[in-house]
Amino acid sequence: MLNKEIFSNNTISQRGVWRATVIVIFTLLALGGFILSLTKGALSISLQDIVGAIFYDHAGATGQVIWNIRLPRTLVGALVGMNLALAGAILQGVMKNPLADPHIIGISSGAGLAGVTIMVLFPHLEYLVTPMAFVGAMTAAIFIYILAWKGGIRPVRIILAGVAVSAFLNSGISALMVFYSDRVHGALMWMVGGLSARSWPHLAIILPYTVVGGILALLGARRLNILNLGDDIARGLGLNVEFSRLAMTAVAALLAASAVSVVGLLGFVGLIVPHGARLLVGSDYRYLLPASAILGMAVVTISDTLARVAFSPVEIPVGIIMAFVGAPFFLYLLRRDA
């Protein structure tokens, strides 16, 4: 494996330099994605005009496009990518499962069903969408645990339980959308996960959750490291295993739920990104979490740009791009770990 070579051939200080380098590269990638997302689209805008539009002139035609459409959309995409990547990284540690991803194991569907229920049945309570999505995500996570628990947690059982829970919840979402098709705008976009027409209000929804969830995730990094040594060792080292697992699952559910309530069921970000990051910075969560967060921003902003320009003038939801890359990757992991 790649990371084994990287780490076994280096001393500890060299490894520190390597990790820092990777994180810097991820940051550059995220910045690149950001700029790409601002410049490319139905209308190509030069970097100069963008800087002008952001800092001096909001009123001109270019200014309108940048300020009202591209900038908020790009920011929302970046935060969604960060939240889903962090949620995936946490879940993989907590569930001891390399295949854990909020989408695959049904946590996103839990958030989705709760969110859609509010949007469709109680539209006047729209401010409750994200909190309820969190409750839905957490409920789904606990259900998956209960279903998968049989004297311990096995990776494959979590996936199977997740598939079942996910199918069950998705049928609920579909039913609501069929019954109230007039009330759900852009339902299809929402089911596959898309950033189309996401703007400042959406940023306002996701930002507080990103900040709180991100800080809690980083504070939990050492717990996740200890948890990775196995339950018996973790307990021997004085970690409250049950509490830590529940708390970190809640953080992951919070991050995933806020992403879902903004873009819908965007899959595979939480699967691909943490794996990519792990391959390069290793399994120490103190580095893995920041690396995943930054790479998540890069992946979603770049993919969303691709989704806008690939079949221009038709725009496809970014979820399709993610699934196109993510599904084969999932199969690869499944074969490797089995």
Partner 1 sequence: MAIIKAEKLNLSFDEKEVLKNLTIAVGKGQIISIIGPNGSGKSTLLKALSRNVKPDKGVVYLEDVDLTQLSSKVIARKMAVLPQSPQAPKDLTVRDLVEYGRYPHQSWWQGKSGQDDVCVAWALSQTGLTEMSERIVSTLSGGERQRVWIAMALAQKPEILLLDEPTTYLDICHQLEIMELLAEFNQEHNITVVMVLHDINHAARYSDFIAVLQQGKVFAMGKSAEVITSHTLRSVFGVESIINMDELGKPVVNITGLTKKRG
Non-local (6+) Cβ contacts of 315 within 8 A are 196, 307, 308
Minimum CB–partner distance for residue 331 and partner 1 (Å): 22
| Residue 68 engages partner 1 in binding (rule: CB under 8 A) | no
| Residue 182 engages partner 1 in binding (rule: CB under 8 A) | no
Instruction: Please answer whether residues 187 and 175 qualify as being in contact, where contact means their C-beta atoms are separated by less than 8 angstroms.
Output: no
| Residue 338 engages partner 1 in binding (rule: CB under 8 A) | no
Cα–Cα distance list, 114 to 128, 134, 196, 252, 320 (Å): 10, 8, 22, 17, 23
Spell out, one character per residue from 202 to 221, where the chain touches partner 1: x when CB under 8 A holds, - when not.
-----------------x--
Select the span of 42-50, 201-209, 233-241, 264-272 touching partner 1 (CB under 8 A).
Answer: 233-241
Residue linked to tokens 């300020």 = 67
User: How many whole angstroms separate alpha carbon 21 and alpha carbon 30?
Assistant: 14
Minimum CB–partner distance for residue 238 and partner 1 (Å): 3
Q: Which of 39, 170, 196, 228 binds partner 1 (CB under 8 A)?
A: 228
| Residue 1 engages partner 1 in binding (rule: CB under 8 A) | yes
| Residue 233 engages partner 1 in binding (rule: CB under 8 A) | yes
| Residue 11 engages partner 1 in binding (rule: CB under 8 A) | yes
**Closest CA relative to residue 294, chosen from 280, 308, 305, 307:** 280
Q: How many CB atoms lie within 10 A of CB 67?
A: 18
Cα–Cα distance list, 189 to 163, 175, 320 (Å): 22, 16, 10
Minimum CB–partner distance for residue 236 and partner 1 (Å): 3
Cβ neighbourhood burial of 201 (10 Å; 0-12, 13-18, 19+): exposed
| Residue 225 engages partner 1 in binding (rule: CB under 8 A) | yes
| Residue 170 engages partner 1 in binding (rule: CB under 8 A) | no
| Residue 17 engages partner 1 in binding (rule: CB under 8 A) | no
| Residue 232 engages partner 1 in binding (rule: CB under 8 A) | yes
| Residue 237 engages partner 1 in binding (rule: CB under 8 A) | yes
Instruction: Please answer whether residues 137 and 107 qualify as being in contact, where contact means their C-beta atoms are separated by less than 8 angstroms.
Output: yes
| Residue 8 engages partner 1 in binding (rule: CB under 8 A) | yes
Residue linked to tokens 């691909």 = 272
Spell out, one character per residue from 240 to 279, where the chain touches partner 1: x when CB under 8 A holds, - when not.
x---------------------------------------
Q: Which of 100, 113, 137, 226 binds partner 1 (CB under 8 A)?
A: 226
Q: Which of 105, 239, 250, 253 binds partner 1 (CB under 8 A)?
A: 239
User: How many whole angstroms separate alpha carbon 254 and alpha carbon 244?
Assistant: 15
276-305 binders of partner 1 (CB under 8 A)? 282-284
Cα–Cα distance list, 334 to 15, 23, 87, 221 (Å): 29, 27, 20, 26
| Residue 42 engages partner 1 in binding (rule: CB under 8 A) | no
Instruction: Please answer whether residues 251 and 76 qualify as being in contact, where contact means their C-beta atoms are separated by less than 8 angstroms.
Output: no
Minimum CB–partner distance for residue 223 and partner 1 (Å): 8
User: How many whole angstroms separate alpha carbon 320 and alpha carbon 93?
Assistant: 27
Between 280 and 323, CB nearer to partner 1: 280
Contact residues toward partner 1 (CB under 8 A) are: 1, 3-4, 7-8, 11-12, 219, 222, 225-226, 228-233, 235-240, 282-284
